[in-house]
Amino acid sequence: MPASTQVHRNTVRDLLSWAHAYLRDRGLPESLADAQVLLARALGIERWRLPWSGEIAAEAAGEAQFRDWVVRRGRFEPLHYIQGFREFWSHDFQVTPEVLIPRPETEILVEEALRCARLLGREGNLNILDVGTGSANIAVILAGELPRAKIVAIDCSPGALRVAAVNCRDHGVAQRVFLLCSDLLLALRPEVRFPLIVANLPYIDRAGLDILPLDVRNYEPRVALDGGQGGTRILDSFITVVPALLEEGGFLLLEIGAGQSEWLRTRTEPILEFREVRFVRDLSGVERVYVARREGPAGG
Ligand SMILES: C[S@@+](CC[C@H](N)C(=O)[O-])C[C@H]1O[C@@H](n2cnc3c(N)ncnc32)[C@H](O)[C@@H]1O
């Protein structure tokens, strides 16, 4: 009789404790949570089931995938790039290193934009401009929530626009989101006007880029982060072209960084007459979203 060959298979518990220690030793702050997320995904089970699956032997392909992901995470590659998606407004968006990983505070911008769209009326039949669209997270959600709206979504990065196109298609809004490769608004026809303009452009001070957390600094696209000197260079160029594009009575919404609100208020005052300006704070108390309404009758 041929000698029986017994193949040793690691259990779910073995893999989890290996990955937890591996990531912890490399200084990952959320080592256990990261290990759980990756293991559940590699094995195709819900994360909450892991504690009940400890003694189950992991299937070889899942284990190989998991080990590869853990090594990548050990180099501080963001979890969302490894998984290939990020949840935003309860929807999954494809993300690759070509796009910024959408942040929860950007949901404030979306919420405020929807509020402005309601104030504008027209049953949501609006043309909206989204500048610095990245993965198109903002444009896709606005298009989903406002089924009669049309959105022009601009980015200067062709790689980001490829990801944006996938997300528009996957969420069924590609017919109403028009992606445009442009440095700010250069590629727009001069006569177009929008009643609602949103922008989440880079606003991090160039001098602070090198002290960002490793996973941001080494993996997220610099073009999505670098706001130039003081973090306001790109916003500054953008603001100067807004008057030519914003309808009377229309809304401008910008996401900004900590400590930029006073600069923005002072900068916009001489450029545009706004009848109302306010800042919305994020959960950490930072004035994160600027909302302003241009003077003049809505629909003008
Ligand atoms: C902070 S990310 C925002 C991405 C996405 N809208 C979000 O909220 O997660 C900024 C985006 O602006 C784009 N960008 C940077 N400079 C630009 C410029 N001069 N013109 C157009 N887009 C620009 C970047 O490529 C990047 O996708």
pTM value > 0.85: yes
Q: What pLDDT digit, counting tens, does each position of 110-135 carry?
A: 999 999 999 999 877 899 999 999 99
236 and 187 share a domain? yes
Top mutation candidate among 87, 93, 99, 100 for ligand 1, by most atoms within 8 Å of CB: 100
Q: Is residue 250 part of a domain?
A: yes
Pick 31 or 11 by higher pLDDT. Answer: 31
Q: Is residue 223 part of a domain?
A: yes
CATH at residue 119? 3.40.50.150
Overall number of domains in the chain: 2
State what percent of residues in the chain have pLDDT above 90. 83
Q: Is residue 91 part of a domain?
A: no
Q: What pLDDT digit, counting tens, does each position of 256-273 carry?
A: 999 999 999 999 988 888
273 and 176 share a domain? yes
Q: What does the pLDDT read at residue 5?
A: 57
139 and 266 share a domain? yes
271 and 239 in contact (C-beta within 8 Å)?
yes
Averaged pLDDT score across all residues of the chain: 93
pLDDT at 1 over 50: no
What is the C-alpha radius of gyration for the chain, rounded to an integer number of angstroms? 23
112 and 32 share a domain? no
45 and 131 share a domain? no
Q: Is residue 80 part of a domain?
A: no
255 and 225 share a domain? yes
Q: What does the pLDDT read at residue 50?
A: 81
Of 236, 224, 94, nearest to 157 (Cα)? 224
Q: Is residue 270 part of a domain?
A: yes
Q: 173 alpha carbon to ligand 1 midpoint, in Å? A: 20
Q: 47 alpha carbon to ligand 1 midpoint, in Å? A: 33
Q: Is residue 5 part of a domain?
A: no
Domain that holds residue 129: 97-294
Q: What does the pLDDT read at residue 60?
A: 82
Q: Is residue 299 part of a domain?
A: no
pLDDT at 3 over 60: no
Q: Is 56 in the pocket of ligand 1 (CB under 6 A)?
A: no
Q: Residue 6's pLDDT band (boundaries 50, 70, 90)?
A: low
Q: Is residue 106 part of a domain?
A: yes
195 and 263 share a domain? yes
| Ligand 1, atom nearest to 134 Cα | 27
CATH at residue 68? 1.10.8
263 and 190 share a domain? yes
Average pLDDT for 3-16: 78
Residue nearest to atom 5 of ligand 1 (CA): 134
Average pLDDT for 93-114: 98
52 and 176 share a domain? no
Q: What does the pLDDT read at residue 272?
A: 81
The strand pairing partners of 194, in sequence order, are 246
Q: What does the pLDDT read at residue 275?
A: 86
pLDDT at 56 over 90: no
Q: What pLDDT digit, counting tens, does each position of 186-209 carry?
A: 999 888 999 999 999 999 999 999
Q: Residue 284's pLDDT band (boundaries 50, 70, 90)?
A: very high
